[in-house]
Structure 1
Amino acid sequence: MKIGCPTEIKPQEFRVGLTPGAAQEAIAHGHDVLIQAGAGVEAGFEDAAYQSVGASIAESAEDIYDRSDMIVKVKEPQATERKMLNEGQVLFAYLHLAPDPEQTKDLMASGCTAIAYETVTDANGGLPLLAPMSEVAGKLAPQMGAWALQKANGGRGVLVGGVPGVNPAQIVVIGGGVVGTHAARVAAGMGARVTVLDRSLPRMRYLDDNFGNSFRTLYASQANVADLITQADMVVGAVLIPGAEAPTLISKADLATMKPGAVLVDVAIDQGGCFETSKATTHEDPIYEVDGIMHYCVANMPGAVARTSTIALGHATMPFMLAIADKGWKQACEDDPHLLNGLNIHAGKLTYFAVGKALGLDVTSPQMALKTA
């Protein structure tokens, strides 16, 4: 199979879909790998590193799309990229379709087969291709929230860890999954007083058993959320419904109950955001203010640490990428129901029910898509 990796063009997206190591593995399996010139430079991988393992360098994205059977990316294809997709081509990337009707429409019109990293599952019910970026985003969230809390950036002027005789920041993390756990660990390590809210009693027991008194847990009832945000200097939104639009956790009206200059960090912004006042921002212009509350809503947070993120993502995606290349997407999905869960679009049809529900579109089951492919 011919595997193509274009340069990411989303603003301030510095990651790359294939590391030289992943390219080397694919070539060892008998596949051809085509990398767009400069695609890996921002993540610390020069073109020569790819050429040294046998990959070819293409000067343009058009060349990548024209010559490749499978496109491996990080972020969802932008409008100009979607126009270059070909019928029957496999797209393997983060897609986040639920809040993005235009992308969904374009991918369906292209006739491609789109497999989304964020909906591939594992035997434990986890999301193995989302997890490494959730870990990165979770660890970044308190760090970026601390920056937004600085007075010069519009925040309350509160030091997260405090100093002797002065209270540290109070940080509320809504959601105790991968993002929330890593956010809480880092926030607690910075010296903050941290509360993690979740609705899963087993998950809260897990957090208590593993992290003890590092941070406290509390059931995520509406009353508890409403109470805690009035005390918070920072709130991290870390709730995920796989493949679906994120639920609204804090309304615009709730902002009036918060401390002026408090910070909301919305890690769920890729799925539409979990605060009513959230809108996607970029690393270039990451924060904005609504009713005195600072919002940090960067849609590709892990792109800020591109090298770490690229390597971590490459480790997770490589086995699935190789299975698709070795067997073809159909056989790979027939052999692995967890990879099949990643199938979002095939031959003009939507194949992921949560996206269909969010966008009001008809859905064909992925199993039916396999039968008719």
Structure 2
Amino acid sequence: MLVAVVKELKQGEGRVACTPENVRKLTDAGHKVIVEKNAGIGSGFSNDMYEKEGAKIVTHEQAWEADLVIKVKEPHESEYQYFKKNQIIWGFLHLASSKEIVEKMQEVGVTAISGETIIKNGKAELLAPMSAIAGQRSAIMGAYYSEAQHGGQGTLVTGVHENVDIPGSTYVIFGGGVAATNAANVALGLNAKVIIIELNDDRIKYLEDMYAEKDVTVVKSTPENLAEQIKKADVFISTILISGAKPPKLVTREMVKSMKKGSVLIDIAIDQGGTIETIRPTTISDPVYEEEGVIHYGVPNQPGAVPRTSTMALAQGNIDYILEICDKGLEQAIKDNEALSTGVNIYQGQVTNQGLASSHDLDYKEILNVIE
């Protein structure tokens, strides 16, 4: 199987889907690997480093001729022309956010494997490290954009406690998963107060136990509680993600209007559509805009801003799956590995993820029925 590592085209995206170390694992297993020129530069990996591990450096067009194309994010619209029948595209594709790319993949007969929908032992194991990074960085961005020069309230989120008692900011975090706890931990490290809004009762108990000695309040998620708590936020971070599907707009414009002027609103799951009515995708180079008097931060690829760390994390997670696909062939790998099967969103043009199908009102096929 010919495997290609392509350079990301998304603005500000410095990650690469495969490290030189992982290229060596593939070539040692007898697989041919091609790497697009400068694909790893943003993460600190030179072309020479890949060549030393057995890869051939190629052009963008040549990379897309591969049987298995390994990416970080969804293909850019300029890359749709390279899709070919039975080609496998691997990455954090977030296909629920774009019907156009799904229809193009269906038309050509592409197989799309989305790392964010791979579930193992009840957990999104490949997404978790990226969620952790996005959560931590969101807390930092909230502090940064709270400053007056960025249009924020002009507050120092830490407060001041040297001979005076100026309280820190309040972070309201919507959702209680990996991204949320990582955001909360950074906010607590900044001496901020944290409110977490969570739906699941078992998770609420877990969070209450986890933060029993900290300045954290855990609130049951209801529309009424959300509307009440968002008014307290100096920084509001939404972490809600529904695997494979586009989430509902739970944070309404009216709720945003009720927020403090100059407060900061961040949606970590904007790459899947987001849960905030007033949010839209932004970029790492132009990350914020003001609406309803609130600073909106809608960067969909936050880990791309810290590519060295992020690349090492995602590469550790994906290599075993990629090796299994290459060693066994995709069909057998899917049959042998239930977790891998959960990542197959489209198989040879057929939608095999129920959340994705419902997001775009498309026919759904169970993956094991399709390949039998």
Cα drift, residue 200 of structure 1:
1.2
How many residues are paired up? 368
8 A Cα contact 1:82 1:110, kept in partner: no
Report the residue type matching 2:61 in the other structure.
E
Report the residue type matching 1:61 in the other structure.
H
| 2: CA distance, partners of 1:194 / 1:235 | 10
SS of the aligned residue for 2:346 comes to strand
**Residue 25 (str. 1) matches residue 25 (str. 2):** yes
Report the residue type matching 1:10 in the other structure.
K
Query: In the alignment, what sits opposite 2:106?
Result: 108
1:176-235 deviation line (CA, Å, top 9, x unaligned)? 001101011111111100011101121122222233232221111222211111111010
Deviates more, 1:36-45 or 1:102-111: 102-111
Cα drift, residue 247 of structure 1:
2.5
Report the residue type matching 2:3 in the other structure.
I
Structure 1 runs (4+) greater than 3 angstroms displaced: none
1:63-82 to 2 correspondences below 5 Å: 63-66=62-65, 68-82=66-80
8 A Cα contact 2:240 2:274, kept in partner: no
8 A Cα contact 1:109 1:348, kept in partner: yes
**Residue 129 (str. 1) matches residue 130 (str. 2):** no
Query: In the alignment, what sits opposite 2:44?
Result: 44
SS of the aligned residue for 2:90 comes to strand
1:260-306 deviation line (CA, Å, top 9, x unaligned)? 01111100101101100010000011000111011000010000000
| 2: CA distance, partners of 1:238 / 1:316 | 21
| 1: CA distance, partners of 2:312 / 2:211 | 27
| 2: CA distance, partners of 1:11 / 1:110 | 26
Report the residue type matching 2:279 in the other structure.
S
| 1: CA distance, partners of 2:63 / 2:77 | 16
Report the residue type matching 2:15 in the other structure.
R
Cα drift, residue 244 of structure 1:
0.9
Report the residue type matching 1:160 in the other structure.
V
Cα drift, residue 71 of structure 1:
0.4
**Residue 139 (str. 1) matches residue 136 (str. 2):** yes
Query: In the alignment, what sits opposite 1:313?
Result: 314
Query: In the alignment, what sits opposite 2:274?
Result: 273
Query: In the alignment, what sits opposite 1:247?
Result: 248
Q: 1:92 aligns with which of 73, 90, 93?
A: 90
SS of the aligned residue for 1:231 comes to coil
8 A Cα contact 2:92 2:114, kept in partner: yes
1:67-113 deviation line (CA, Å, top 9, x unaligned)? x1100000001111121021111111111111211111111122111
8 A Cα contact 1:83 1:110, kept in partner: no
Cα drift, residue 144 of structure 1:
0.9
SS of the aligned residue for 2:145 comes to helix
1:150-161 to 2 correspondences below 5 Å: 150-161=147-158
Report the residue type matching 1:24 in the other structure.
R
SS of the aligned residue for 1:280 comes to coil
Pairwise CA RMSD: 1.0
Query: In the alignment, what sits opposite 1:149?
Result: 146
| 2: CA distance, partners of 1:82 / 1:311 | 27
1:323-342 deviation line (CA, Å, top 9, x unaligned)? 11111111100001111111
1:1-373 to 2 correspondences below 5 Å: 1-58=1-58, 60-66=59-65, 68-123=66-121, 125-164=122-161, 165-214=165-214, 215-371=216-372
SS of the aligned residue for 1:284 comes to coil
Which blocks of at least 5 consecutive residues in structure 2 are unaligned?
Answer: none
8 A Cα contact 1:350 1:362, kept in partner: yes
| 1: CA distance, partners of 2:87 / 2:358 | 26
| 2: CA distance, partners of 1:258 / 1:114 | 40
1:121-161 deviation line (CA, Å, top 9, x unaligned)? 102x1111111110110110111111111111111111111
8 A Cα contact 2:128 2:178, kept in partner: yes
TM-score w.r.t. the length of structure 1 is 0.97
